[in-house]
Chains A and B, each alone.
Chain A
Amino acid sequence: MPIHNDHIKEKLNAQFGDGIISWDESSDILSLEVAPSIHLKLLTFLYDEPTLGFQFLTDLTGIHYPDQPARELGVVYHVHNLKENTRLRIKVFVPIEKPDVFTTTGLFSGANWMERETYDFFGINFVGHPNLKRVLNVDEMDYHPLRKEYPLEDQTRIDKDDEMFGR
C-alpha cells in the first residue's frame, strides 16, 4: 500500500515548513525542492520516521541550470521505501561559486561513489565526504565536463578543425 502523497507532505511541512521551497508531482513521483541547509536533516527524518521509512537511495545525480542565478547547480536524490513501494524525489540547488552540499554517506553507504561521480562531472563539493575525488574520469582532468559551459567535444585536439567536423 503506497504511502499517500498528502501524508508525506503533511509530515514534512510540519517538520521543515520553512526549508521546503516547492512541491511538484511529475512522472508519478512526488518531488520537493529543499534548502541545502536542511536537506540532510530531511533525508534523515525520512529515513527514521516510522510512517515514512525511505531507507533506500535509488540514485543521486547532479544537474546544471546556467540560467538560474545563485542556484545553478543541483543535486537530485531519489529515495525509495521498499516496504510500501513508494518513491520520492528531492532536489537541492546551490550557487555555482560555492557548490557545498552536505554528504549523505553517513546515512546511505551507497552514496559514496555516487557523490564522487557527481563531484567528478559537476564539481559539487560534498562536505564531509570521506574520499571526495574523481571516480570515472582521469585524475589529471582539471574541469567538470558535464557543466554547460564545456562543449561535449574535446577542445584540445587540432586535427578535427576543418569544416567536415564543424569546428
Chain B
Amino acid sequence: MARPVRFNLNPKDFTDRGINQVELPDGHMGEGFFATSFDKVVGLARKNSIWPLPFATSCCGIEFMATMGSHYDLARFGSERVGFSPRQCDLLMVMGTIAKKMGPVVRQVYLQMAEPRWVMAVGACASSGGIFDTYSVLQGIDQVVPVDVYVPGCPPRPEAIIDGVLKIQDLIHNESLRRRNGEQYKHLLETYGIQ
C-alpha cells in the first residue's frame, strides 16, 4: 500500500538551483589555516547577521511582516533576528509615513543605536513624504537622519524590501572599517546636528 504522505525518500539535487553559500574572501589558504585581511572578515560577519529594527507606522510595515514571514523569509539573508531595542540593532528600517511630530522620535531612535548603524527608508512616504505632501508630514526621513538605502514603492513588495536589504549588505560588505572615523562621515553627521 502506498504511503499517504510522501516523505522525502528521493532527495532532490539542489546544486543547480542557485543555493548560495557565502564565498570566501580573498586570502591565503593552506592546511589548517586561512589568512585574509581583518576588515573583510568583519564585513562578512556583519553583512550576514544584520539585526533590523523595524520602525513601522503604516502599510509598508505590513509588507515588512510579509517579508519576515515564511514565504519570503528574510532569515535566508541572516536577518531573522528582529530587535526591538535600538541599542542592539544595526539597521533601522523606517517603514511608513513619518509625521513631523514623529520626526524627533525617529531621530532619538537613531541616536540610541550604536555604530556601525545603517538606515533604510522603505516606501514612498519614508523616502519623500509620498502622497502626503502636506503640512503635517515629514517630507522624507533624510531630513532628520542620514539614509543609506531608499526602497521605492507604495508600498514596496517584499521582493523590493529584500532587494533593499541586499543593497545594505553590499554597503556593509564593502565598507572600510575606518569609514566611521572619516572626515566625510563626521561631516555628514554634523549636517544633521548629530555629535
Contact = CB atoms under 8 A, between A and B. Distances in A.
5 contacts: A136-B136, A154-B135, A157-B139, A160-B139, A165-B133
Contacts of A6: none
B101 A137 contact: yes
Interface residues of B, number: 10
A14 interface: no
A153 B133 contact: yes
Contacts of B100: 137-138
Contacts of A165: 133
B136 A137 contact: yes
Contact of B135 (A152, A159, A160): A152
Binding site of B, secondary structure by majority: helix, strand, loop or mixed?
loop
Interface string A126-138: 0000000000111
Interface residues of A, number: 13
B134 interface: yes
Given A152-B133, A154-B133, 5 more contacts: A154-B134, A154-B137, A154-B139, A157-B139, A159-B128
Nearest to B136: A137
A136 B137 CA distance: 12
B136 A153 contact: no
